Amino acid sequence: MTTLFSAGTIGAISVSNRVVMAPLTRARADMEGLPSRYAAQYYAQRASAGLIITEATNISKQARGYAYTPGIYTDAQIVAWREITEEVHRAGGKIVLQLWHTGRIAHSSLHDGKPPVAPSEIQAGDMVFTEDGAARPSMPRALELDEIPSIIDDYVLAARHARAAGFDGVEVHAANAYLLDQFIRDSTNRRTDAYGGSVENRTRLPFEVTKAVADVFGPDRVGVRLSPITRAVGDTPLDSDPVGTYKRMAERLGTLGLAYLHCVEGQTQGDNAATSFDFQSLRRAFGGSYIANNSYDRTLAVEAVATGHADMIAFGRPYIANPDLVERLRAQAPMAAGDEKTFYGGGAAGYVDYPALDGVTAND
């Protein structure tokens, strides 16, 4: 029987257990998009996860929405990420890079005062962080139809860079109301061209991007993250038919032979709502491996893998303060609570100083 602690494979990636470190924005990169100098240590401390998905990483300068988030579009960034993948591999882990374009969840101060780009000219609510603190995302401008191929090209280039940096694969971030999800939802997409209107048209860009990225890495090293029922980020209204729309998205992605589909089963950073939305229908529509995420505790995670609800379970916030989460889950040991003041921004404190169970900071 497969358990949370069984080894296996997800696409072409062999994993030592079914625990995934979910992507976590920690806002410790510099303004050139170089990951924190502590990031190699941070990720290597967490290498006992079956799979690490990195923090969301900007595919281009245009993709940036927030200050202090890393990128994968310059040579220096590739070099910095290579050091991180090497440390994780040395510690026996597997790591994929999450490819991110924020779309309208972005601030013009990151774009020389110019507006960010989005499917349509509709401003997001909520917050992004800028060099001057939290701010409302700026009014975006709608992408021209003839600009869309260059967005796909940016994803392709980012995937090539990820391969050069030694990643085991990539995850396309099509969740949490960022650019690709802005195309999917009819609440943020009012286009009248081939990328708006029908479900077929609204799922076109995420599909084309994923297909293009799969051509770089091989489909079995590419996953996609979706979040059909979250308003975060940007206080974004849901699609008018989340079940139908995301089921079709999952079905289209299923034709590509990908490594996995990864779903945020509820409100991002909120409660688990897997009971109020039929995530298994998305999984069936996709037909491949499934990573479940959002507020799973040990009991839910063990059960979800044992019953075949999910192939792997991604833990986000618990990974902040529990570098040895797998060992703690295995031993049914107590979990440490993270300090919210150091979730975003800063340096080593609250990042690489959470001890493992034995009191020793992992991989020191």
For 66-93, letters b (16+ CB in 10 Å) and e give bbbbbbbbeeebbebbbebbebbbebeb
- SS3 category, 55: strand
Nearer to ligand 8OZ by Cβ, of 56 and 158: the residue is 56
For tokens 């310059």, the residue is 74
Nearer to ligand 8OZ by Cβ, of 56 and 96: the residue is 56
CA dist 10 and 224 (Å) reads 13
CA dist 19 and 52 (Å) reads 9
- SS3 category, 347: coil
Nearer to ligand 8OZ by Cβ, of 17 and 57: the residue is 57
Angle between helices 148-164 and 204-217 (to 10 degrees): 30
- CB 268 to ligand 8OZ: min, Å: 5
296 is catalytic: no
- CB 56 to ligand 8OZ: min, Å: 4
For residue 271, give every residue at least 6 positions away whose Cβ sits within 8 Å of its Cβ, in sequence order, or none. 294, 295
Burial degree of 38 (CB within 10 A; 0-12, 13-18, 19+): middle
From 48, 77, 176, 289, residue interacting with ligand 8OZ (rule: CB under 6 A): 176
Q: Does 342 bind ligand 8OZ (CB under 6 A)?
A: no
Q: Give the residue from 116, 109, 105 showing the smallest Cα distance to 130.
A: 109
Kindly state the greatest CA–CA separation across the chain: 58
**Annotated active-site residue in 42, 43, 68, 178:** 178
Give the x-and-dash track for 129-168 against ligand 8OZ (CB under 6 A): ----------------------------------------
Give the x-and-dash track for 37-66 against ligand 8OZ (CB under 6 A): -------------------x---------x
- CB 176 to ligand 8OZ: min, Å: 4
From 187, 268, 272, 361, residue interacting with ligand 8OZ (rule: CB under 6 A): 268
Nearer to ligand 8OZ by Cβ, of 205 and 233: the residue is 233
Nearer to ligand 8OZ by Cβ, of 25 and 45: the residue is 25
CA dist 206 and 22 (Å) reads 20
**Is residue 224 reached through a cis peptide bond, with omega within 30 degrees of 0 on the bond before it?**
no
Q: Does 17 bind ligand 8OZ (CB under 6 A)?
A: no
Nearer to ligand 8OZ by Cβ, of 17 and 102: the residue is 102
Site for ligand 8OZ in 185-224 (CB under 6 A): none
Give the x-and-dash track for 220-249 against ligand 8OZ (CB under 6 A): -------------x----------------
From 16, 25, 189, 342, residue interacting with ligand 8OZ (rule: CB under 6 A): 25
- CB 269 to ligand 8OZ: min, Å: 7
- SS3 category, 90: helix
- CB 175 to ligand 8OZ: min, Å: 6
For residue 181, give every residue at least 6 positions away whose Cβ sits within 8 Å of its Cβ, in sequence order, or none. 174, 175, 188, 206, 226, 227, 236
CA dist 10 and 313 (Å) reads 12
Q: Does 256 bind ligand 8OZ (CB under 6 A)?
A: no
End-to-end CA distance of the chain: 35
Residues noted as catalytic:
178
Chain positions contacting ligand 8OZ, by CB under 6 A: 25, 56, 66, 176, 233, 268
